[in-house]
Amino acid sequence: MVCGKAQFDDTHLDTLLNPTLIVEVLSDSTEAYDRGRKFEHYRKLESLVEYALIAQSHPHVDSCRRQPDQQWLLTECGGLDGQLRLQAIDCELALAELYDKVELQDA
């Protein structure tokens, strides 16, 4: 998600250079990369304010928000009754709605 005019890397319009919020749905095969190296690259984007990671198999979302001192604050939210505030876009995310029609694994 971008606030303002989108800036792209090339004419294919598939690489956004100025995202405000990035949301990833995690998979078993890419979770370590998404949380590690990929996030390391994302943190270099000056425009990025928040990075949200959505678990695929159980109701859980991690949100990492850039703080004024350039540190990143992790907020976790779990369970179908959970609500996570995506501050970058001033939005309340209800996990029950997010996981509606998703077959969840038993805990």
Q: How wide is the angle at C-alpha 56 spanned by C-alphas 55 and 60, nearest 5°?
A: 30
What's 58's domain CATH number?
Answer: 3.90.1570.10
- Domain containing residue 83: 21-98
With a cut of 60, say whether residue 83 has pLDDT above it: yes
Query: Does residue 77 sit within a domain?
Result: yes
Asked whether residue 25 is domain-assigned, the answer is: yes
Domain count, the chain: 1
Residue 66 lies in a domain: yes
CA–CA gap between residue 16 and residue 7 (Å, rounded):
6
Sign of CA dihedral 28, 37, 84, 1: negative
Residue 5 lies in a domain: no
* pTM exceeds 0.75, yes or no: yes
pLDDT digits (tens, 9 = 90+) for 4-58: 898 988 877 788 899 999 999 999 999 999 999 999 999 999 999 999 999 998 9
Q: Spell out where the chain has E strands.
A: 21-25, 50-54, 60-66, 72-78, 83-86, 91-94
Pairing of strands 50-54, 60-66: antiparallel
